[in-house]
Amino acid sequence: MEGEPTGEEEGTHAATGEEELEGSGMWLRGIEDISFEDDAETPREILELVRNHIEGLDRNAAKRKVLAASSYNEHILNHTREALFAIARQQRRDCPQGQPKKRTYRANTEPVANRLAEDCCALFQFIEGGRNLAEIKKMFPHGTQNNTWQSPAITRSRGLNTILEEGEDEDVVAKILAENASLREMLKTEMREVNEKLTSMSNRVKHHEEARVDVTEHCDRQLKSIQDELATNKGSQLVLSEDIESMKGKLKKLEATQVRIQTTVSTCNNKILSLETEIHTLQGSAKKSDTEREAKFGNITKYVQSLAFSLEERIREQEYGLSTTHERIKEMKESEVLSEPSLIPYTLTAYMVPGDRFSTMCVVLDVELTDKVSAPPDGW
């Protein structure tokens, strides 16, 4: 229903109710029945009322307080906006003329009460000297602004002509002219400041543009370098992949070779153990053979020594026999016992005496005289 808060406004009010300033009250109640057509004081009273409650607050806090004071009533907010427009036209010569836009419901936008409260806060800021003329112009239809707004110089000029035609006091004319001169000076100052700001902004834009170009060129160089590195890395990656595959094959071969080597080593270890066992056995046999050999060598040495001793005894006996025979022959010749020399037969008998690494030849002379020399003793 028109004049009552909508469901969306009530939801907004419930969401922001805790954020409203304490003691805000409903100080805009009742002003919707006041007419401003023939009353110049009421709009000022409303301005003072608004100033006392929202001065010094930021835009969002002021907006919440205005909404709370009106209980989200569109009629109260619209009436407050009209009062502030009346004051703005009186105090600001650059305020647009004509009728402002009528706030109506539209989808996908803020509620009507919120937009009216925003207008009230913007108008209060404008009246207090804020530089938000562009925001105020947006409250009017576009065609109305072009057709109705006039510069302060034209407005003052028309006011001057009217005053002259009606024969007003010259002091008023001088005051208006002084105001126009002051306004021109103010406009010059503002234009100079605006030009300086424009020059500064132009220099800053130029500087930023140059910086942007430098950054763009640097980024392009970096991008090209990165692309080259990526291409190089891709080639290197392919080579590494091939090397890895080759190494995998070699690794498999090495593993197979290692298995064979381990098998061979195991076999060799077994053979080594077997050979060590055989060596130990052979060492035992060799020790036994050495003992037996040493015993045999001792026996042979004893036998040879005994045989040599016996041989020496027999040689001495033979030498003695030979010597005796020669002496007998000599005696027989000398005595001429025999009428003629008798042939004395003799026999040389050789005996081989066995020994270790040598043989001994013994010669025995067997002389036949009246008796033969007896045979060698047994054992020769």
In a domain, 47, yes or no: yes
Question: Has residue 215 been placed in a domain?
Answer: no
What is the pTM assigned to this prediction? 0.35
155 within a domain of the structure (yes/no): no
Give pLDDT, residue 41: 73
Residue by residue, pLDDT tens for the chain (380 residues) are: 334 444 444 444 444 444 443 334 566 665 655 555 545 678 888 888 888 888 889 999 999 999 988 888 899 899 899 999 999 999 998 899 888 989 888 888 889 999 999 999 999 999 999 899 999 999 998 765 544 444 444 445 455 544 444 444 566 777 788 888 888 888 888 898 899 999 999 999 999 999 999 999 999 999 999 999 899 888 888 888 888 888 888 888 888 888 888 888 888 888 888 888 888 888 888 788 778 888 888 888 888 888 888 888 888 888 888 888 888 888 887 775 544 544 444 444 444 444 444 444 444 444 444 444 445 445 54
In a domain, 83, yes or no: yes
Its domain, for residue 116, covers 1-149
Rounded to 5 degrees, φ, ψ at 362 are -110, 125
Torsion angle in degrees (nearest 10) through CA of 231, 237, 239, 241: -150
Give domain status of residue 263, yes or no.
no
Question: Nearest-CA neighbor of 31 among 39, 18, 17, 42?
Answer: 42
Residue 91 belongs to a domain: yes
With respect to residue 137, please indicate whether it lies within any of the assigned structural domains.
yes
Q: How many domains in the chain?
A: 1
Residue 239 lies in a domain: no
pLDDT at residue 28 in the model: 65
